[in-house]
Chains A and B, each alone.
Chain A
Amino acid sequence: MNPSIVETVNVAREVAWLPWAVQYFFLIGLSYGAFLLSLPGIVGRRRGWAGISRLALLGALVCGLAAPVALLADLHQPGRFYHFYQFFTPSSWMSWGSFFIPVYLGGLVLYAWLAFRPLLAQQATDGSLSPRLARLARTLAYGGLESRGALLAAAAVALVGAALVALYTGMEVMVVRARPLWDTPLLPVQFALTALAGGVGLTLLLKRFSGQPDAAQGSIPLFRALAATQALALLVGAVWLLLGLTGLSPRHAQALAEVAPSAAWRLTAVWAAGSTALTLWLALRRPGSGLLIGLLAMHSAWMMRWTIFIGGQEIPKTGAGFYQYQLPLGYDGLLGIVGTGGLWVALFIALTTLLPVARLNREAA
């Protein structure tokens, strides 16, 4: 801060991307992160991954279905969402994103249906569902056949979609030169890494609550995956800081210069690095049941997005100092966050009523 200049008349610009945006980027990140974890068990048929991958796919599906609702809510004219498809604008990453999302979600829903069809058929006949729900499960199972070829094709579409979603969500923010904190080449990588970590965290939680006594034993591949994401996140964070401190990358240096004078930002950086290091250590040495590290990983993924989006918008583009954001309690703030969580829970209940997590977690279907 330069104490020789004091801004006496100006106006603080309010945040224009609301907590809805944070929720969208969080959920879609968790979704594609968890989707990737579904591949070794379901597509690769890797030993020890079957239960993990089915639970991850459930998580990917629930997050993937909830995410677009948060995205729509962040529009100030949500009823005009069809304009995205009516007026394609190739110069805009957001415009591309509006086409990538359906590719990913279409592939994901189809892949999940093909993967869960046999389980739905089993669930319909084993007597654990009420007659009405059993009928629904039977209808959804549509014969309950395993169609390996179709499953692989759907997984491929979803994989391409996931890669495109990861790319556009990173690039969309990175290209905003007006905000030096966003305009850093490493941002898409950081988004993707924390998304993967969040996906692992969510799967760990699902595994933990799947009712299996060997939850910790069966989660070992997840502990390893989480440790890898945390190590990489720390490495990329260190590179980010080095590029900024040394001035090797002027864009990183500018981003660092914007936040470095703020005590709140320094605390945030220490918090992010500290929690990542703690998660790494716990995942390697004391994973426990996976509950704590799962929560920590999800917390890091959410905090990173909150800090980038809301914190980034607290940095004036022209004015002096920092703006102060206070979370409103209404639909543009806390209610939006809680509401997205509620939608997630509702979708989770609906899906797990037909396919309980305990069935998904069984090593042999």
Chain B
Amino acid sequence: MTQTQICPPEAVEESPASASRRNFLRGLPVITAGAVGAPLPALAGQPGSRWGMLVDVRKCIGCQACTIACINENEVPEGSYRTIVSTYSVKQPEAAGQPAGTYVLPRLCNHCDNPPCIPVCPVGATFKREDGLVLVDGDRCVGCAYCVQACPYDARYINHDTGKADKCTFCGHRLEAGLLPACVETCVGGARIFGDLNDPKGELSRRIAAAGDSLKVLKPELGTKPRVFYIGLDPRFAGKVAGQGALWNPQLHGGRS
């Protein structure tokens, strides 16, 4: 069952182009009523929509449900990720009463307004759509991986099944069907809020406006103008993290033929 079929009319009216898992949960009591009515889209993409995402790090529990949902939805090959929740163990000051805490940071393509991946592409295969999505034209991509190098967020990879550059599409195919991106729909803590940045009444815009100075983006100094925003972003994690690295090191080049 998808949100297209179950989203209550009230929720749609209140927030026509913004939604999160929490909205969905709030609407649960009226599912039955909604289910018998005509299907309504959870996301009403209007002409002039500009999609964006807000990640409320304080609500992320690091369960990686988004990671798995994305892999399932987009057939992401083994060892590659369009989104992942980077997880860190952080030493606490003595006064905290416990030796270490956990910090989690969901990462994905930032669908930048000034994307460094686009000008480097030698064949014009990567582009930014009017609705804000940064996409790859798979028919044109030569798999040179220049965009993979240019992305400061490590959001791109070479898909070894297709031999082309690949990345998060904000689940563009789901948006066209009026559905939320898979990672948003599955987020247990309601940490990912997705919607139309051009809709001032939408939940995304309201939450962004309410966040004030606590609204951050990753690597702001690069001027990439990300359209994925964060609340609760610890500055130590906004750029390259200074710490001890992870151990997991999948390498699939050359291993698939």
Contact = CB atoms under 8 A, between A and B. Distances in A.
Interface of A: 1-18, 74-77, 80-81, 83-84, 86-87, 89, 91-95, 97-98, 172, 175-179, 182, 258, 313, 316-326, 328, 330-333
B244 A84 contact: no
B151 to A, nearest CB: 6
A165 B152 CA distance: 26
B245 A14 contact: no
B241 A320 contact: yes
B141 interface: yes
B248 A4 contact: no
A76 to B, nearest CB: 3
B91 A3 contact: yes
A64 B257 CA distance: 29
A7 B120 contact: no
Interface stretch (B142-150, B170-178, B203-211): B142-150
Given A77-B141, A89-B122, A318-B153, A5 B249 contact: no
B87 interface: yes
Contact of B144 (A2, A75, A91, A330): A75
The 4 closest A-B pairs by CB, nearest first: A321-B245, A76-B143, A5-B243, A332-B254
A322 B245 contact: yes
A93 B121 CA distance: 9
B142 to A, nearest CB: 5
26 contacts: A1-B243, A5-B103, A7-B87, A8-B87, A8-B102, A9-B62, A9-B86, A11-B84, A14-B252, A14-B253, A15-B253, A17-B149, A77-B164, A87-B140, A89-B123, A94-B122, A182-B149, A317-B240, A318-B218, A318-B240, A319-B240, A320-B241, A328-B253, A328-B255, A331-B257, A333-B254
B121 A178 contact: no
B123 A177 contact: no
Nearest to A317: B154
B244 A10 contact: no
Interface of B: 62, 64, 79, 81, 84-91, 102-103, 107, 116, 118-125, 140-146, 148-154, 157-158, 163-164, 218, 222, 236, 239-246, 248-255, 257
Contacts of A177: 116, 150, 152, 222
Contacts of B158: 16, 76
A12 B122 contact: no
A340 to B, nearest CB: 15
Main SS at interface, chain B: loop
A80 B116 CA distance: 23
B91 A4 contact: yes
Given A16-B148, A316-B154, A318-B218, A89 B116 contact: no
A113 B155 CA distance: 47
Contact of A3 (B142, B218, B244): B244
Given A5-B90, A91-B120, 8 more contacts: A1-B242, A76-B158, A92-B146, A95-B123, A313-B149, A319-B246, A320-B241, A331-B257
Contact of A91 (B79, B85, B119, B255): B119
B236 A5 contact: yes
Nearest to B62: A9
Main SS at interface, chain A: loop
Given A14-B250, A15-B253, A318 B107 contact: yes
B248 to A, nearest CB: 6
B122 to A, nearest CB: 4
A320 B242 contact: yes
Contacts of B151: 178, 317
A316 B240 contact: yes
B245 A319 contact: yes
Nearest to B156: A16
Nearest to B152: A178
- Central interface residue in A84, A87, A92, by most chain B CB within 10 Å: A92
Contacts of A318: 86, 107, 152-154, 218, 239-241
A333 B254 CA distance: 8
A333 B255 CA distance: 11
A89 B88 contact: no
A313 B61 CA distance: 30
A12 B90 contact: no
Nearest to B143: A76
Contacts of A11: 79, 81, 84, 246, 248, 250
Contacts of B242: 1-2, 5, 320
A12 B124 contact: no
Given A16-B158, A178-B150, A328-B254, A321 B244 contact: yes
B245 A7 contact: yes
Nearest to B147: A16
A89 B149 contact: no
A5 B140 CA distance: 41
A84 B123 contact: yes
Given A5-B236, A87-B124, A316 B245 contact: yes
A132 to B, nearest CB: 39
B250 A87 contact: no
B145 A330 contact: no
A8 B246 contact: yes
A330 B255 CA distance: 8
B246 A10 contact: yes
A83 B123 contact: yes
Contacts of A330: 254-255
Contacts of A7: 86-88, 241, 243-246
